[in-house]
Amino acid sequence: MLNAMTQGNDGSLSTIHSNSSLEVFNRIATYASGALRRGLKLEEAVTAAGRLREKGHRQTKMQLGLPGVASPAREVEQARLIREAVGPDMDLMCDINQRWRVEQAIDIGKRVEDAGVGLYWLEDVTAHDDYAGLARVAAALATPVAGGEYLYGTVPFRHMLEARSVDIVMIDQVRSGGITPWLKIAGMAEVFNLPVVSHGVPEIHVHLVGAVPNGLTVEYMPRLFRLWEEVPVPVNGKLAMPTAPGLGLKFDETAIRTFGVA
């Protein structure tokens, strides 16, 4: 199974696309994810946001839907201060992880817009399978609504797209069923004139986002990087498309021995 991940036919397919002569696909936009968690104290989140800017990231994602009984004003304050910390030029996304009701998403989303935060997208604002509710939020806000991370297989994406639930389609390569289903979903999104983005595993998703004409950006959350000898890393906010065969990944044998289960 692990060998298939790195050398299978699906991997070859993405390499064929990524090695095309179109220079635009050779470097893929990526956004820093995981540093601006909702569990941080406000001052910690602001400090972390400033560090991301200092490191040269051009896109990053924060979280709202704050823990406890947080007022809309407190949510807006978090967004506003993080925007100040990252500066006006960085693309700032926001993940809710399904923590709001539809009415909350519309109310707080509009307040964040009125505060001038300028979100690149607002993600998973309510229950992932409330397609009608998501569509209400998307219609009510000027901010693009992203979703799809929690969907499994290909069929739920058809329902989501037909309901006009989102403006940006987020696809998880594992949950969707693999590389081929991921590409099928991206094709469906293209028919609806929508961009696609990835969820997790940037070392694989860099190939997929770079292989489709409506690929927008790769989530950079390097959770599995210790498994590989070499992985793509952001330079000036972009990931270089690997050129080695397959996915361009080779297992770190020391890591496999350390983390392997007999």
Q: What is the pLDDT, as a whole number, of residue 233?
A: 83
Q: Using 50, 70 and 90 to split pLDDT, how confident is the model at 116?
A: very high
Average confidence score pLDDT of the chain: 87
Q: What is the pLDDT, as a whole number, of residue 14?
A: 43
pLDDT tens per residue, range 147-159: 999 999 999 999 9
Contact 156, 165 (CB under 8 A): no
Domain of 157 in residue numbering reads as 2-259
Instruction: Flag whether pLDDT at 18 surpasses 50.
Output: no
Q: Nearest-CA neighbor of 237 among 93, 91, 86, 58?
A: 58
Instruction: From residue 105, give the alpha-carbon distance in Å to each of 20, 93, 173, 218.
Output: 41, 15, 27, 25
pLDDT tens per residue, range 208-262: 999 999 999 999 987 776 766 677 888 888 988 888 888 877 777 887 778 777 6
CATH number at residue 103: 3.20.20.120
H helical segments located in the chain: 2-7, 9-18, 42-54, 72-86, 102-114, 131-140, 155-162, 173-176, 179-191, 202-211, 253-259
Q: Using 50, 70 and 90 to split pLDDT, how confident is the model at 23?
A: very low
Domain count, the chain: 1
Q: What is the pTM of this model?
A: 0.87
